[in-house]
């Protein structure tokens, strides 16, 4: 691959693409979106994955100016031209970690393709840290806990588990009605609040492990997700100043019912800014979210939590009746 420069960004260093399993690799392009989604669905079905990237999430990869697809993706195609493997890396400017995402078609596994893609991702991230004038940082990969193929690939390549994220669930039957704290108004999310909520999110998550500030573009990607439900999302405003004190943004995955037999609202992000913490705002936002889910015909509420979250979120969710369902692992390797 050549070097592609985008104005105002570090050009992507040229790193030789993977070579393995008789596949021919090239960068992915927007015209590969349908093939990429089809591969994603084949992998998810074979792994019985609890979640996978949506079409809109994959599409953002071709708009991401921090991580241009030309230099940061690789697709492996078989002789008839079917996409059988992919790898992608992302890194936020100045960030201490780079992220690796990838997958191999179930029928093409055990041929060394996943290992070759992972090695390419590590080489590329090494080059990106160097291009930004940074010392080599960390590669981070997230996988569902119950995924033997990923576990053996990552363990074998020198990765170790550094963090556990617990997906938690509760039925909406008997959902608690929590009063809104004095001096706070909870309003439905509206586009006009988006930028204030983005800034509040970056501030609220500044003390959270692995969290990096969301740029305007990355925040836009979140709100453009086909699963995002603005009508189920809400913002807690300080009644006196009008400032954003807290927020929750919700998603709806239509595949949950056919796969798991439940209709659920999913709290994608929930945050309270430090000056407003310990006043019951998070509980009130969750209670408000449950009411919104229930009114829309949902029967469960779901969210994910870093089990070592510094704000005590795990205990809060347990008190609100959420119970652990399954875990995602964060794997790290120092470059």
The 3-class SS string of 46-77 reads: HHCCCCCCCHHHHHHCCCCCCCCHHHHEEEEE
Instruction: Pick the closest to residue 205 from 142, 285, 272, 302 (CA basis).
Output: 272
Domain co-membership, 236 together with 293:
yes
Question: Is residue 252 one of the residues assigned to a domain?
Answer: yes
Alpha helices in the chain (DSSP H): 33-47, 55-60, 69-72, 113-131, 148-156, 194-204, 216-224, 256-260, 281-295, 313-319
Yes or no: say if 281 and 181 are a contact pair by the CB < 8 Å rule: yes
Question: Is residue 17 one of the residues assigned to a domain?
Answer: no
Number of domains in the chain: 2
Place of tokens 């692995």: 210
pTM: 0.83
Query: pLDDT exceeding 90 applies to what percent of the chain?
Result: 77
Domain co-membership, 220 together with 310:
yes
Domain co-membership, 100 together with 121:
yes
Beta carbons within 8 Å of 318's beta carbon, 6+ residues apart = none
Question: Is residue 10 one of the residues assigned to a domain?
Answer: no
Query: pLDDT exceeding 70 applies to what percent of the chain?
Result: 96
Domain co-membership, 154 together with 173:
no
- The average pLDDT across 34-40 equals 97
Question: Is residue 14 one of the residues assigned to a domain?
Answer: no
Question: Is residue 232 one of the residues assigned to a domain?
Answer: yes
Domain co-membership, 115 together with 241:
no
CATH number for position 60: 3.40.630.30
* CA distance linking residue 185 with residue 19, whole number of Å: 56
Instruction: Pick the closest to residue 261 from 289, 296, 299, 292 (CA basis).
Output: 299
- The average pLDDT across 137-162 equals 92
Query: In the numeric block, which tokens belong to residue 141?
Result: 């990969």
Q: What is the mean pLDDT of the chain?
A: 92
For the beta carbon of residue 275, count every other beta carbon within 10 angstroms. Answer: 10
Domain co-membership, 271 together with 146:
no
- Does position 279 have pLDDT exceeding 60, yes or no? yes
- Does position 11 have pLDDT exceeding 60, yes or no? no
Residue 241: give the domain boundaries: 166-327
Of 158, 187, 202, the last residue of a domain is: 158
* CA distance linking residue 32 with residue 59, whole number of Å: 10
Question: Is residue 67 one of the residues assigned to a domain?
Answer: yes
- At residue 6, the pLDDT reads 45
Question: Is residue 65 one of the residues assigned to a domain?
Answer: yes
pLDDT band at 216 (very low <50, low <70, confident <90, very high): very high
Domain co-membership, 174 together with 149:
no
Question: Is residue 7 one of the residues assigned to a domain?
Answer: no
Domain co-membership, 39 together with 130:
yes
Residue of 261 and 38 predicted with greater confidence: 38
* CA distance linking residue 193 with residue 214, whole number of Å: 15
- Does position 268 have pLDDT exceeding 90, yes or no? yes
Domain co-membership, 132 together with 188:
no
- At residue 259, the pLDDT reads 80
pLDDT band at 4 (very low <50, low <70, confident <90, very high): very low
- The average pLDDT across 145-171 equals 92
- The average pLDDT across 53-72 equals 93
- Does position 3 have pLDDT exceeding 70, yes or no? no
Domain co-membership, 79 together with 185:
no
Q: How far is CA 330 from CA 40, 133, 141, 195, in A?
A: 20, 26, 6, 29
Strand order in the sheet with 138-144: 24-26, 73-77, 83-91, 97-104, 138-144, 323-334, 160-171, 300-306, 264-272, 244-251, 234-238, 184-188
pLDDT band at 5 (very low <50, low <70, confident <90, very high): very low
pLDDT band at 12 (very low <50, low <70, confident <90, very high): low
Helix axes 194-204, 216-224, angle to 10 degrees: 110
- At residue 8, the pLDDT reads 47
Strand partners, 171: 300
Yes or no: say if 323 and 158 are a contact pair by the CB < 8 Å rule: no
Of 129, 158, 187, the last residue of a domain is: 158
Instruction: Pick the closest to residue 268 from 245, 255, 286, 295 (CA basis).
Output: 286
Domain co-membership, 142 together with 200:
no
pLDDT band at 1 (very low <50, low <70, confident <90, very high): very low
Query: In the numeric block, which tokens belong to residue 135?
Result: 């010392």
- At residue 33, the pLDDT reads 97
- At residue 13, the pLDDT reads 64
The span from the first CA to the last CA of the chain, in angstroms, equals: 22
- At residue 2, the pLDDT reads 42
Of 98, 124, 158, the last residue of a domain is: 158
Query: In the numeric block, which tokens belong to residue 142?
Result: 């997230």
Domain co-membership, 148 together with 183:
no
* CA distance linking residue 105 with residue 46, whole number of Å: 9
pLDDT band at 47 (very low <50, low <70, confident <90, very high): confident
Instruction: Give 63-113 pLDDT, tens digit per residue.
Output: 999 999 999 999 999 999 999 999 999 999 888 999 999 999 999 999 999
- At residue 7, the pLDDT reads 44
């Amino acid at each position: 691959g050549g070097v592609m420069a985008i104005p105002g960004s570090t050009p992507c260093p040229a790193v030789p693409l993977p070579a393995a399993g008789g596949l021919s690799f090239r960068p992915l392009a927007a015209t590969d979106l349908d093939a990429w989604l089809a591969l994603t669905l084949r992998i998810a079905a074979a792994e019985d994955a609890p979640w996978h990237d949506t079409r809109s999430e994959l599409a953002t990869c071709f708009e991401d100016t921090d991580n241009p697809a030309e230099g940061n993706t690789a697709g492996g195609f078989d002789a008839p031209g079917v996409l059988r493997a992919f790898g992608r890396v992302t890194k936020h400017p100045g960030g201490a970690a780079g992220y690796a995402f990838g997958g191999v078609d179930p029928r093409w596994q055990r041929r060394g393709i996943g290992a070759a893609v992972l090695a390419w991702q590590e080489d590329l991230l090494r080059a990106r840290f160097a291009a930004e004038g940074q010392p080599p940082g960390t590669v981070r990969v997230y996988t569902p806990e119950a995924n033997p193929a990923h576990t053996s690939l990552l363990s074998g390549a020198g990765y170790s588990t550094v963090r556990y994220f617990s997906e938690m669930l509760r039925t909406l039957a008997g959902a608690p009605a929590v009063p809104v704290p004095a001096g706070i108004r909870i309003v439905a999310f509206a586009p006009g609040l988006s930028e204030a909520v983005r800034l509040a999110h970056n501030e609220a998550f500044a003390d959270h492990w692995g969290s990096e500030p969301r740029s305007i573009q990355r925040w836009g990607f979140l709100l453009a997700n086909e699963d995002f439900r603005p009508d189920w999302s809400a913002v807690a405003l300080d009644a006196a100043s009008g400032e954003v004190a807290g927020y929750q943004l919700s998603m709806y995955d239509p595949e949950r019912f056919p796969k798991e037999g439940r209709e659920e609202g999913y709290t994608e992000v929930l945050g309270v800014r430090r000056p407003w913490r310990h006043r019951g705002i998070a509980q009130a936002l969750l209670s408000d979210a449950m009411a919104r889910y229930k009114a829309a015909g949902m029967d469960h509420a779901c969210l994910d939590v870093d089990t070592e979250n510094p704000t005590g979120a795990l205990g809060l969710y347990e008190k609100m009746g959420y119970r652990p369902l399954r875990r995602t692992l964060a794997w790290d390797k120092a470059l």
